[in-house]
Amino acid sequence: MVATSPVRPDAPLHEAVARITGMLRDAGVPSPAADARWLVQGIAGVDPHRHPDTPLPRAALPALNDAVARRAAREPLQLILGTAPFRALELVCRPGVFVPRPETEIVAGLAVDVAQRVGSPAPIVAEPCTGTGAIACAIAAEVPGARVIATDRDPAAVHLARHNADRVRRGVAGPPGFARAATLTVQTGDLLDPLDPELRGHLDVLVANPPYLPADDRDSWAPEVAAHDPDTALVGGADGHEVVNALLTLAARWLAPGGTVILEIDERRGADVAGAARHAGLSSIEVARDLTGADRAIVARRPV
């Protein structure tokens, strides 16, 4: 809890946002103005950009002060608010499970595009390392007929991904609900181990945002990451690429001929991963960039 109230009771929302922005800036939060706006909107339930002169509801003040103190202590915004936007969806976030990032929306979008073009009424998509279920939920919401199987070896992630999948299915996580005839199951286990062996050689898309950071990076992580994302969600072995390499090897075995693997990657390692994909026997290898121009994903196909 903060010692004093950062915002005076009944302050207009623009004043509340300005004061909170200053507090967050002083605490070293990287995007203080945006976070201040999201905190006010999330706690007060009113958009301060659209209603700048509306007074902050008195009843919201204690919760807002508490939320500001948590953000100033560098707790991720998504864990304070309990949700994260992801493409058209609003996903529930919980402590102990990796918070979905905006850059992963691009990876999910690549998978949606490929799955929509497969030409089958029921494209089969596997998403190991699902975390909150973000990528799998987006695909189930956007690809008619998709049969999506997600896995994670962390039971807390599986529990949360199932909860998010259920919210999407019921249409409470965003406007679309599940796309027509789409299905999504979430299973506990290592990478593709939980999948029905009969799917081997039949996956149309294998998409993942696996752990891909080297262990040596830990000292450079922002407090939001170091103290709140599980280490097992971030570190992909000593060199960072053990899980990426394992998935490329699995892709060569589990994809249907012509099927596509899409993996989020460390932006410093695009050329390395392209080489590993070649080594795994994949073809049509491309490194996709994100909106900042950084290498963000490897896209490759199992040869026909």
- List contacts with ligand SAM (CB under 6 A): 98, 100, 104, 128-132, 134-135, 151-154, 157, 190-191, 209-211, 232-233, 243
Q: Which residue is nearest to ligand SAM (CB)?
A: 131
Pick 35 or 229: Cβ nearer ligand SAM: 229
Distances in Å between the Cα of 220 and the Cα atoms of 29, 41, 217 are 15, 31, 6
Q: What residues form DSSP beta bridges with 207?
A: 262
Q: What residues form DSSP beta bridges with 205?
A: 125, 260
Pick 165 or 243: Cβ nearer ligand SAM: 243
Q: How far is the CB of 23 from ligand SAM (least distance, A)?
A: 28
Residues 6+ apart with CB under 8 A from 216: none
What is the bridge-based pairing of β-strands 147-152 and 183-188?
parallel
Q: What token pair was written down for 181? A: 């005839």
Place of tokens 């279920």: 133
Q: How far is the CB of 137 from ligand SAM (least distance, A)?
A: 10
State how far the Cα of 27 lies from the Cα of 71, in Å rounded to an integer: 9
Pick 38 or 212: Cβ nearer ligand SAM: 212
Q: What token pair was written down for 266? A: 């460390």
Pick 36 or 157: Cβ nearer ligand SAM: 157
Pick 111 or 277: Cβ nearer ligand SAM: 111
State how far the Cα of 29 lies from the Cα of 44, in Å rounded to an integer: 21
